[in-house]
């Protein structure tokens, strides 16, 4: 099979599209012929050597995608050859064939395409647990969303509005601000402006109830934009490592810092099915709109990585085998 691989850490130029051996599925695994693969910042971090990688080179990136079951080995739990399935956390997805454990398979309903599934699962499930578990959004809550034009950001904005929140977005440009407004944000501010002051002004000086912080380097400002007794949910660091947080500040302001990681939530097949089912239902009902993803062939993976790192893309980037 063909796969997008790399042997040394570095920029997009280290990626190679080449022939590698087909995966051999173990007991209770499925062999899936990929139709669409989601590209995420985690792939960039692994390519650079910032994230742990198992095995030996050549490494194959990718954790998210969808396709058709080609082979079954073991108790299939109702899944059979020819079924349409997807997954959010299975390694080596940047390939034509992927071995998928049965407890990580998510069946696709008829109304969800391969492209939609690969564009929404990882980012959509992230936004789902952030708004349900990390901080349960209730009607009337004010929330601030970093990188509101990104994949997770757009989902956070839309789900926040679905749950009755007042949503403020942060973006890096007027073009991206337009994307956040289209997703339903009530207000959008730019990082280059005095956004902490703007957020306070729009909340009558109090600050928001919750900040969804995915940049990292902006963590102190996020606390500044949070009301007394409010919460900052830290779930990403696309802009660099955060500075240490002073516990005394948390005590003096009664503010809460909580972390979020999807893999601490997706701990069973039932969790995957239940959470993805709600996402898919929202999409089918037109309540959650997934923007048309930007697609590249798997062979053009280096170009896809370049676009993602440029931060000029809005929404999801997919690789198509």
| Homologous superfamily, domain 139-259 | NAD(P)-binding Rossmann-like Domain (3.40.50.720)
Measured distance between the N- and C-terminal CA atoms of the chain, rounded to whole angstroms = 10
Confidence (pLDDT) at 238: 80
The CATH number of 2-120+266-320 is 3.90.180.10
Could you give the CA distance from residue 8 to residue 209 in angstroms, rounded to a whole number?
Answer: 44
Could you give the CA distance from residue 213 to residue 236 in angstroms, rounded to a whole number?
Answer: 7
Residues of the chain with pLDDT under 50: none
Give yes or no for a contact between 173 and 148, defined as CB atoms under 8 angstroms apart. no
Task: List, for residues 9-65, the tens digit of each pLDDT value.
Answer: 999 999 999 999 999 999 889 999 999 999 998 899 899 987 777 777 899 999 999
Which helix (H) or strand (E) element contains residue 16? strand 16-19
Could you give the CA distance from residue 318 to residue 133 in angstroms, rounded to a whole number?
Answer: 28
Could you give the CA distance from residue 285 to residue 58 in angstroms, rounded to a whole number?
Answer: 42
Confidence (pLDDT) at 314: 66
Which residues have C-beta within 8 Å of that of residue 208, sequence separation ≥ 6? 142, 143, 144, 168, 199, 225, 226, 227, 230
Question: 38 pairs with which residues across the strands?
Answer: 64, 318
**Pairing mode of beta strands 84-87, 59-60:** unpaired
Taking residue 235's Cβ as centre, other Cβ atoms within 10 Å add up to 21
Domain ranges of the chain: 2-120+266-320, 139-259
**How many CA within 13 A on the CB side of residue 169?**
32
Could you give the CA distance from residue 159 to residue 171 in angstroms, rounded to a whole number?
Answer: 18
Task: Give which of 277, 276, 239, 232 is closest to 256, Cα–Cα.
Answer: 232
Give yes or no for a contact between 212 and 234, defined as CB atoms under 8 angstroms apart. no
What phi and psi, each to the nearest 5 degrees, are found at residue 232? -115, 125
**How many CA within 13 A on the CB side of residue 195?**
26
Could you give the CA distance from residue 178 to residue 171 in angstroms, rounded to a whole number?
Answer: 9
Could you give the CA distance from residue 319 to residue 96 in angstroms, rounded to a whole number?
Answer: 11
pTM listed for this prediction = 0.89
Task: Give which of 136, 313, 307, 148 is closest to 215, Cα–Cα.
Answer: 148
Give yes or no for a contact between 41 and 238, defined as CB atoms under 8 angstroms apart. yes
Which helix (H) or strand (E) element contains residue 168? strand 166-171
Confidence (pLDDT) at 23: 95
Task: Give which of 252, 232, 254 is closest to 242, Cα–Cα.
Answer: 232
Confidence (pLDDT) at 147: 93
């Amino acid at each position: 099979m063909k796969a997008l691989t790399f042997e040394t850490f570095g920029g997009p130029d280290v990626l190679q599209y080449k022939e590698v051996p087909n995966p051999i599925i173990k007991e209770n695994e499925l062999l899936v012929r990929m139709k669409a693969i989601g590209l995420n910042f985690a792939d960039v971090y692994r390519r650079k050597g910032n994230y742990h990688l198992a095995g030996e080179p050549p490494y194959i990136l990718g954790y998210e995608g969808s396709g058709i079951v080609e082979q079954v080995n073991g108790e299939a739990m109702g899944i059979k050859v020819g079924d349409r399935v997807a997954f959010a956390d299975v390694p080596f997805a940047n390939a034509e064939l992927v071995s998928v454990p049965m407890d990580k398979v998510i069946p696709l309903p008829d109304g969800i395409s391969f492209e939609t599934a690969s564009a929404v699962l990882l980012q959509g499930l992230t936004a789902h647990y952030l708004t349900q578990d990390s901080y349960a959004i209730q009607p009337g809550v004010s929330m601030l969303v970093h990188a509101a034009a990104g994949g997770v950001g757009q989902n956070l904005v839309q789900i926040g509005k679905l749950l009755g929140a007042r949503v403020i977005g942060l973006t890096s440009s007027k073009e991206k601000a337009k994307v956040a407004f289209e997703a339903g944000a009530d207000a959008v501010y730019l990082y280059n402006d005095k956004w902490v002051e703007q957020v306070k002004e729009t909340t009558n000086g109090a600050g928001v109830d919750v900040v969804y912080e995915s940049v990292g380097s902006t963590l102190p400002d996020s606390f500044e934009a949070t009301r007394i007794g409010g919460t900052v949910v830290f779930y990403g660091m696309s802009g660099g490592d955060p500075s240490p947080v002073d516990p005394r500040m948390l005590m003096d302001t009664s503010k809460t810092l909580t972390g979020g990681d999807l893999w601490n939530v997706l701990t069973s097949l039932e969790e995957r099915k239940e959470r993805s089912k709600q996402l898919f239902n929202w999409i089918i009902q037109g309540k959650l709109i997934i923007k048309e993803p930007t697609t590249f062939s798997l062979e053009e993976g280096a170009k896809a990585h370049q676009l993602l790192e440029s931060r000029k893309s809005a929404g999801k980037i997919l690789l198509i085998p």
